[in-house]
Amino acid sequence: MSQSIDYQAPPRQSFSIGKIWTDKRTRGLVIQLLATLAICAVVLYLAGNVVENFQKLGKPFGFGFLQQEAGYDINQRLVEYNSQSTHLRAAVVGILNTLLVAVCGIILASILGFILGVLRLSPNWIVNRLAYCYIEFVRNVPVLVHILLVHGILVHSLPKTRQAIDVADSFFFTNRGFFVPKPIMEPLFWLVLAAFVIGVVYAFWYRRMARIKQAATGEQSPVFWVMLGSIVGVPIVAFLLTGMPLAWDIPALKGFNFKGGMALRPEFLSLWLALSLYTAAFIAENVRSGIEAVNKGQTEAALALGLPRKRTLNLVVIPQAMRVIIPPLNSQYLNITKNSSLAIAIGYMDIVATIGGISLNQTGREMECMLIVLGLYLTFSLVISSVMNWYNNRLALVER
């Protein structure tokens, strides 16, 4: 005979404010909330105080000045601009110039830094010492000195316009800049761009499938040649089939300067090379430390299996070293972007020289201009950090 068991619900705990403070997790959230509210209150108070003081001075806070005529020229620009353009247009030109230097500098500094980092560990004594001397010299000289040095070399060592160095009647190198042919895309060129995008997508898809196949069967696929054919060969075939829809605007000397083509100004080249060479020295040390962080047993095991040293470095050492290299690499990419603000020292018109320099002096809107500059650099830094953190998470070890 079964006996019935009476189920009694656990007593309901009464809510009290005191328990919020005694609970560790809840107390932490309350403290963070109060701190955030206090910071916001201080910021709002300071902002209101600044706006009120500006109004007393007859300078109401606002960004309407961006629609006024700029009244100054910019020699290096990626979009159409003249002295009758607005300050907003000048700001766009400065932003694009800053991004151009940052992106080009990150690419070149990464390539040079990885090469120097590997050479720093070379068993060849001469190569090792040369890399060491370069790294120590560059790292211990201020970056502004490098910028001025490179700019001086380019301006004073290259010939004048009429004595320009001519390469194939298409490339001209002078102290006013490098004048190179400018590509002009014809209507059917979009098919070539579409073929390139499709080739890139297929190449990465094929590489992923090849890795899965190798992990399952051990069979290796010709990944390199397939990716090369997809990324390079397919666009070339599309380019030929569409009748080569690309023309070139060749620069020519007319009067006292070159007309047509595309000009790479010495200010841009100096800033790009100086920032890249300077940051490459720091990246080289990150690469060296990352490689040395990999246990030597990994290298010895790969060599014992018959892998040559080059394949051992590419397949065993570098993939493991990247987990150590990526976090400090993020800081170096941020440094390149922020150090580009030194461009004003050689007359390169970046965001600091345009909206934070000439536009500020002409309009007297120092608060608004500085807020724009600060907000832009903050945005650049957050975007770079987000991308690098995403890539770092992809390389992180996943526990089973």
Calpha distance 157→281 (Å, rounded): 25
Domain extent for 326: 87-158+266-395
Q: How many CA atoms lie within 13 A of 250 on its CB side?
A: 7
In this prediction, residue 100 carries a pLDDT of 92
Is 351 part of any domain? yes
Q: What is the CATH number of the domain that holds 293?
A: 1.10.3720.10
Residue 233 counted as domain residue: no
Mean pLDDT of the chain: 85
Which phi and psi (to 5°) does residue 13 adopt? -80, 140
d(CA 129, CA 260): 45
Q: pLDDT tens digit string along 79-111? A: 888 888 899 999 999 999 999 999 999 999 999
Looking at residue 10, its pLDDT comes to 55
Question: What's residue 398's pLDDT?
Answer: 57
Q: What does the pLDDT read at residue 105?
A: 93
pLDDT over 70 (residue 312): yes
What number is the average pLDDT over the span 186-192?
86
296 has pLDDT over 80: yes
Q: Is residue 137 part of a domain?
A: yes
CB atoms < 10 A from the CB of 315, how many? Answer: 11
CB contact burial 219-246 (16+ within 10 A = b; e otherwise): eeeebeebbebbeeebbeebbeebeebe
DSSP 65: G
Taking alpha carbons only, the member of 153, 379, 387, 144 closest to residue 275 is 144
Strands (E), the chain: 165-167, 171-174, 177-180, 182-185, 246-249, 252-254, 257-259, 262-264
Which has the closest alpha carbon to 134: 151, 144, 119?
A: 119
List the end-to-end C-alpha distance of the chain, in Å, as a whole number.
50
Counted domains in the chain:
1
- Tell me the pLDDT tens digit for each residue of 137-158: 999 999 999 999 999 998 888 8
- Is there a domain that residue 220 lies in? no
For the entire predicted model, the pTM comes to: 0.80
Residue-wise pLDDT for 116-135, tens only, equals 998 988 888 899 999 999 99
CA 106 to chain centre: 5
325-381 pLDDT per residue, tens: 888 899 999 999 999 999 888 888 889 989 888 888 888 888 888 889 999 999 999
Q: Is the pLDDT of residue 265 over 60?
A: yes
Number of H helices, E strands in the chain: 14, 8
Whole-number Cα distances in Å, 312 to 111, 118, 305: 20, 13, 10
Question: Which pLDDT band holds residue 177 (cuts at 50, 70, 90)?
Answer: confident
Domain membership of residue 312 (yes or no) is: yes
pLDDT at 20 over 70: no
pLDDT band at 178 (very low <50, low <70, confident <90, very high): confident
Within a domain: residue 74? Answer: no
Q: What is the pLDDT of residues 23-81, one digit of tens each?
A: 777 778 888 888 999 999 998 888 888 777 777 777 777 788 888 888 888 888 888 88
Decide if pLDDT at 1 tops 60. no
Q: Is residue 70 part of a domain?
A: no
Residue 126 lies in a domain: yes
Q: Which of 262, 261, 309 is nearest to 122 (CA)?
A: 309
